[in-house]
Structure 1
Amino acid sequence: MVLPKYGVGLLSLAGAALAQVTIYGQTPLAQTKTDGSWAAMTTLAAYNDTFLTPPAAPNPAASNNFAIQLTKDAAQVEGISIAHNGPSFYGFSIEMSVITQILGKNSSYLQVPFLNLMANIQERAGGVYVRLGGNTQEFATMVEEGDSRLSPGHTFGKEISGSTQTTLTPAVLYTRDMFYIANNISSLVNVKWFLGIPFNDSVNWRIGIAEEGQQILGTNLVGLQAANEPDFYVTFGRRTAPYTPADYSREIGELIDYMGKSPKITNTKMLIGPSVSGQNDNWHAQDVFATGFLDDYADYLVAITVEHYPNNNCIAMYSPAGTPGAVVPQDVLPDYLNHGKVTDLAGSYTQDANTAVKYNKPFIMFEMNTASCGGFPGISDTFTSTLWALDYGLQMAFQNTTHALLHVGGQNVYYNPFTAPPTNQSAYNEWTIGPIFYSALVIAEAFGKSNTAQIVDRYANEGSANTPAYAIYENGVLSKAALFNYIDDDTGNNDLTVALTVDGGVPSSVSVKYLLAPSINEKRNITWAGQTFGEKFKVDGRLRGDLNVTNIPCDATNNVCRIPVPSPGFALVFFSSSDEQLTISQAPHTFATTAYSKAHNTVQYDPAVVATSNGHNAGLLAQKLGSTSPGALKNGASAGLVSVALTAVVLSFGGAVWTVLSS
């Protein structure tokens, strides 16, 4: 157990019984609700209530009774994926500028909801990867504790970076305590970390994050990103044109040489790259590989990475209203409910993934979500994103991507898997779960803990875009089937009945866990096997409700199991009644909190330096602390100094006592 660096606030309560979390009453924010057209937002994006019009259901109904022939032995399945091992397929990429809100104020004050959410992934997959970085890592600078630019007791601060990129990235200031925050989290839940080496200045390298990361995190640090989307460097003003894949490759060699001269760096062979976006006409990973990148540096790389969002909302988020070229969410909604679009998206990286296999390296989609610049209202924050990310994750795994990291910003983005409340509401509001988080939970169960999961797309229902299906194998044997229904139809006319047959015979019965919501528009009422994380402002990271697993008898005589799949919905079919994932619900080793005091912290931030990234406009700096995207909290925002209210709570776990933030 790694003790907190700070001892402030720790109480001697080891072994004390844990009280249940107290959820305070909430004050509703103004909301915008639309049907079809996208109206002007009047609240923070993470809590927006924009609804879009679902694509029309097929009329007459599509072929909703179809069969899938499954092969029992993985060795006989053509085109099956590599065996997936290690932590959960889906991990999380946390923008550096919101670490305080997501992880904790400092190493003695950890966010309980984050611990609980990670514990639930760990329960299903054994662990989870988390990356601290994003656009903000490129300008991040380590400073000494007590630096005048930091508020007293705080680990992080921000300065204007001078970046010209779309999201107007701030420069993050951090102290060594950031590494203690991460390591203390890893002592409670099995989280392994990726960090990013700043790449904005290749003459005066700042490798403190590598030095302190290795010294403090030890084996909990699994990789160091060398550049974040270098294909955008000229666009963002970080390099002068021309800046080519060969220039990037050369700088990697210079970084390796520089790291090798530091006595504090014990391992220079834990870099990841090239982390290109491949957007539009920018470079692609293959362009970097063509420079000899892998032949020269394979021994120094622990993974090959790319970053990709299928779309962007940048013009709408960062330009004046009416600026031409903005993507209209209603127009692209059908793309997120279409298996063909998913296969095309994942397929654009199949060559890269297979190159990684050739070099015996993991291939990681290092940053992704529904759309860059915060995502889309009515898509990124609804059940649409749940089904899309689940389908996309399985498709990436089928095409040999080994892991993918869902990006997390602040309150002013739509796509967050989880969102801490605005700071001035933390005394009475809890967290909000994003629909896309459920995809991470479900895919963790689908792959399990065997470290042998192999995936194959069954191209079901004659390759229907509405009804994809996958088979999942563990230890070389058929383990599960994953069945989707993208159609939004509350009449029941487009509910599916999928007839599964297995060579060698079906079992007498199968067990099914369902991922359900009333509509693709649903934002909160989403259940996995009957359980849910709760409404907005009411999430503590623990699942609520009773576990509901459906037993479906099979027709062994005719070798068929008929599985209903509601519209919309998803079914995970378990062929073995002894599969440990069937009994998993709320992780037993999670964290309850109880407030022992509530006091207003006198720490203040000058709004002039409260910038954010991956979706935050420097022109809106004065409007809110703790956000990573544009927009403002209208009620309570101040042009003066922003006071931070904190609730101190006590946590007892495994005989250790911690002070954490209840938010």
Structure 2
Amino acid sequence: MHLGSVSHKLGVGFSIFSLLVQVNAAVTVYHQTPTVPTPTSAAADAEYTGAAAYNPTTLIPPPVPSPLNTQFTLQLQSGGDVQGLSIPQEGSFLGFSIEMSVANQVLGKNSTFIQVPFLNLMSNLAKRAGRVTVRVGGNTQETAELVDSTPDGRMLEKNISGASNPTQTPPLVFTNDLLHLMRKISSFVDVRWFLGIPFLLDTPNRLDIAEQGQAILGDYLIGLQAGNEPDLYARHGHRDQSYGPFDYFGEFANLVDALTNSSSKNQQTNKNLLIGPNIAYADWTPEQVWDTGFIDSFDANLKYLAVENYPSDNCAAQFNTGGTVRNPQDVFPSYLDHNAGKSIIDKFRNSTALAAQKGKRFLMFETNTASCGGFPGVSDVFGAALWGIDYSLQMATAGFGGALMHVGGQNVFYNPFTPPPTNQSTFHQWTVGPIYYSALAVAETLAPASSSFPASAQTPTTQIMDLNANDGDIHTPAYAVYENGVPVRVGIVNFVTDPSGASDLSVSIAVGGDGQGPKEVKVKYVFTVFVDCWLWGSCIGMRRYLLASSVSQKGNYTWAGQTFGGHFDSDGRPIGTENITTVSCSPACIITVPAPSYVLVFLTPNSDAEAGGVVAATFSTTAQTRVRNTATIDPAVLATSNGGFQKGKLGSTSPGSNSAASVGPSVVLATLLAMALGVGLVGAMRS
């Protein structure tokens, strides 16, 4: 609905993304790099000096593989004991990990000023999946201190001068207003939160975030991380060089004892929400942790088992670490086939099987295309959306119970969504990246077809399997989604870029063995591009496209005919109208899968209701800044990169599984200036 729609005032102010500011308004910003990308179809990485989130680098798509079989059949079993199905999954499988140091950019300036586009983005997913899971943490949680107030009265502040270790992670101080902000977000959209207990300073343990987190968030807090990549502690100088899995075991035990014996404000602190071991698969393997007896010893305390892993890193190029510099053009093809996800998850299959045996859900707690911010032209293009879908669905088939895609500041290439930089806020808005489209597609692929939301009250019934489609061709993977032994959806990826149409797939979907089905079905246009498909009775199936012209395309992708535009184009609400089409099945359903694209086919009799009309509650703002006064902001306040500030470099504090890196400055949101400029909080309107 538009801003002029009938609406009602909410009891909280929201931050501004379409700030109504006259041209004579001005803000002085120090140490800010240019952020508006130069209009171009291609650019070398070294030629661009602005923020990574808007880097214009465009790469050459891989050539069409030869040979490529473009016609094949997917035969689905229905009923009986279907072999190869995953553990039950939820539509909220793919969530987000927000670096704690940028929470005030992404979530909101404080509990009375929420980022409206973030609400809209979460609402889109919650409508499809029932709820969204979000972690606020990362490296910057490890020494974060909860205080009664900050020197400048802000919700969150960083001690830039105190940054240390190879990742240059700055110590954080924050007030419980961050927790109140998260709770208010959950009052509008069903977002469930993960937090982290500061683990680097374990003597004594800082339990405030656990205690106040549970008191303020209640049931919306679903887990507390105990240690962020502890297998990198020794390498980063946080522990001595002998630190190993048994040492982590001992520190975890100390934390459980501290929670058990806590005599501080909240006597009801739950010690059964812990998440471990959260290793990066860098200097330890999960098996080394399991061999300590970790799972059995802390069975009553462990809510989830988790790891963190990235398929590659761009640290040498970003931070001159001395390692091998990877050329984005060279690594691009490695993200564009079915082996990309397999190469990440195969090393965790023993652990997911063990977790299932122990009755625990196993999470990929932090991941994305590459650590140290990703690659230009790889992490920020349509190919990353297809990679994110295939990788997520492979994790689901392999026994993972959820995954979180990392979100940094302006300084990374891989963000699912990026708030605008300061000097763009008066006329530009958020940038929605390819990984967010992955989340939309995965939510609709895995969400239950036969149940009503909220999903939090349901027992998961959705299971998925890899169909090894097209004789295992790595460029054309496909998945079947089942409920109670019956196939309800099929997802098909075409990784190939071919504008000629010669590489479009023609996939025949057959269900059961009788070969019977309707001879014709009606064609209708309701909300999205679908295909009618069913092989018995009067069932209608549908399809949705995630479509772009090339795997190298930046922005303006469409999911079921809707888009979030390009750089600075979005307030979190999809643009465009969904459409529904029906086709006949005689008897099998012939599905066209353009090159490149992801197609989701709905098979159930009530697919109209399941696939069509996805209209989420959306939010709009009525706040306005002053238009005459100027403000000068201390450079330290504007050092809002993912963790730190160092000699003009841009970077991330998350080294993932490969290496560590220093980090650098980025630009802050316009909303951080709102209080200095005198923002009038009129509230928000819900449409």
3-state SS of 1:348 partner: helix
8 Å Cα contact 1:44-1:631 kept in structure 2: no
**1:53-202 superposed matches below 5 A:** 53-59=60-66, 62-73=68-79, 75-85=80-90, 88-145=92-149, 147-148=150-151, 151-152=152-153, 154-160=154-160, 162=162, 164-202=164-202
Distance 1:208 1:602, change over 3 A: farther
From 554, 567, 580, give the equivalent of 2:585: 554
Asked if residue 447 in structure 1 is aligned to residue 476 in structure 2, the reply is: no
1:299 equivalent to 2:300? Answer yes
Distance 2:63 2:140 in 1: 41
Describe the shift of the 1:65–1:248 C-alpha distance in structure 2 as closer, same or farther (beyond 3 A). Answer: same
Cα displacement string for residues 507-554 of structure 1 (whole angstroms, at most 9, x for unaligned residues) = 565311111001101111200110111222121111111102332211
- State the 1:39 CA deviation: 3.7
In structure 2, relative to structure 1, the CA distance for the partners of 1:165 and 1:396 (3 Å cut) is farther
Answer yes or no: is the 8 Å Cα contact 2:135–2:193 preserved in 1: yes
CA distance in 2, matches of 1:230, 1:123: 36
One-letter amino acid of the structure 2 residue matched with residue 546 of structure 1? T
2:505 to 491, 496, 500: 496
Match of 1:575 among 572, 586, 603: 603
CA distance, structure 1, for counterparts of residue 669 and residue 17 of structure 2: 26
Indicate the residue corresponding to 1:259 in structure 2.
259
Verify the 8 A CA contact 1:123 1:584 in the aligned structure 2: no
CA distance in 1, matches of 2:419, 2:11: 28
Offset at residue 42 of structure 1 (A): 2.1
Q: Unaligned 5+ residue runs, structure 1?
A: 1-11, 656-663
Q: Match of 1:658?
A: none
Q: 1:252 & 1:209 partners in 2: Cα distance? A: 16
Superposition pairs of residues 368-379 of structure 1, within 5 angstroms: 368-379=367-378
- The alpha-carbon deviation at position 594 of structure 1 amounts to 2.8
**Counterparts of 1:625-636 in structure 2 under 5 Å?**
none
Distance 1:591 1:196 in 2: 29
* 1:622 Cα deviation from its structure 2 partner: 11
Between the two proteins, what is the percent identity of the paired residues?
44
Query: 1:272/1:14 Cα in 2 relative to 1: closer, same or farther (>3 Å)?
Result: closer
Provide the C-alpha distance between the structure 1 equivalents of 2:181 and 2:627, rounded to a whole number of angstroms. 23
TM-score, normalised on structure 1?
A: 0.87
Corresponding position: 1:524 with 2:555: yes
In 2, Cα distance between equivalents of 1:82 and 1:245: 28
State whether residues 17 and 429 of structure 2, in contact with CA within 8 Å, keep that contact through their aligned partners in structure 1.
no
Check 1:163–1:29 CA distance in 2 against 1; reply closer, same or farther (3 A cut).
closer
Pairing 1:478–2:482 present: no
Q: Distance in 1 between matches of 2:35 and 2:682?
A: 28
* Structure 2 CA distance for aligned equivalents of residues 275 and 534 of structure 1: 35
Q: CA RMSD in A?
A: 3.2
Deviation of 1:410 after TM superposition, in Å, equals 0.5
Q: Check the 8 A contact 1:165/1:235 in 2, yes or no.
A: no
Task: Give the Cα–Cα distance (whole angstroms) in 1 for the partners of residues 414 and 484 of structure 2.
Answer: 35
User: Following the alignment from structure 1 to structure 2, what is the Cα–Cα distance between the partners of residues 176 and 634?
Assistant: 24
| The one of 610, 614, 617 aligned to 1:585 | 614
State the match for 2:418 in structure 1: 419
- Give ranges in structure 2 of 5+ residues lacking alignment: 1-7, 24-33, 452-459, 517-534, 653-660
Residues 37 and 56 in structure 2, CA contact (< 8 A), matched pair in contact too: no
Count of residue correspondences: 622
Deviations along 1:117-164, whole A, 9 cap, x unmatched? Answer: 11111000000111000010011111222x32xx23x20100137555
Tell me the amino acid that sits aligned with residue 279 of structure 2: V
Amino acid at match of 2:92: S
Matched residue type, 1:52: L
> What one-letter code is carried by the residue in structure 1 that aligns with 2:177?
D
Bigger drift between 499-508 and 382-391 goes to: 499-508
1:462 to 2:471 alignment: yes
Equivalent residues of 1:512, 1:552 under 8 A apart:
no
- In 2: Cα distance, 1:590 partner to 1:109 partner: 16
Distance change >3 Å, CA 605–CA 235, structure 1 → 2: farther
Does the CA-based 8 Å contact 2:180-2:217 persist in structure 1? yes
Establish whether residue 47 from structure 1 lines up as the match of residue 47 from structure 2.
no
Question: Hey, what's the Cα distance between the residues in 2 that align with 1:201 and 1:273?
Answer: 17
Distance 1:584 1:455 in 2: 24
Q: Is the 8 A contact 1:426 1:646 kept in 2?
A: no
Q: Partner letter of residue 313 of structure 1? A: N
Change (3 A) 1:608 1:649: closer
Q: What amino acid is the match of 1:332?
A: V
Q: Matched residues in 1 for 2:401 and 2:669: separation? A: 44
- Given that 1:510 and 1:553 are in contact with CA atoms closer than 8 Å, whether structure 2 keeps it comes out as no
Q: Measure the CA separation in 1 of the matches of 2:485 and 2:165.
A: 47
Q: CA deviation at 1:464?
A: 0.5
- Quick one: distance in 2 between partners of 1:475 and 1:24? 52
Q: 1:204 to 1:454 in 2, by over 3 A?
A: same
CA–CA distance in structure 2, aligned partners of residues 465 and 234 of structure 1 = 38
Deviation at 1:598, TM superposition (A): 3.8
Deviation of residue 226 (structure 1)? 0.3
In 1, distance between residues paired with 2:252 and 2:161? 23
Q: Is the 8 A contact 2:168 2:645 kept in 1?
A: yes
Q: 1:634 to 1:361 in 2, by over 3 A?
A: closer
- For residues 416 and 646 of structure 1, the distance between their equivalents in structure 2, rounded to whole angstroms, comes to 30
| 1:408 match | 407
Q: 1:331 to 1:401 in 2, by over 3 A?
A: same
Counterparts in 2 of 1:122 and 1:643: CA distance versus 1, 3 Å: closer
Q: Is the 8 A contact 1:34 1:52 kept in 2?
A: no
Q: Please, which of 36, 42, 48 is the counterpart of residue 29 of structure 1?
A: 36
Code of the residue aligned with 1:294 in structure 2: it is I
Shift of 1:581: 3.1
Cα offset, 1:359, TM superposition: 1.1
Conservation of the 8 A alpha-carbon contact between 1:607 and 1:621: no
2:264 is equivalent to residue 271 of structure 1: no
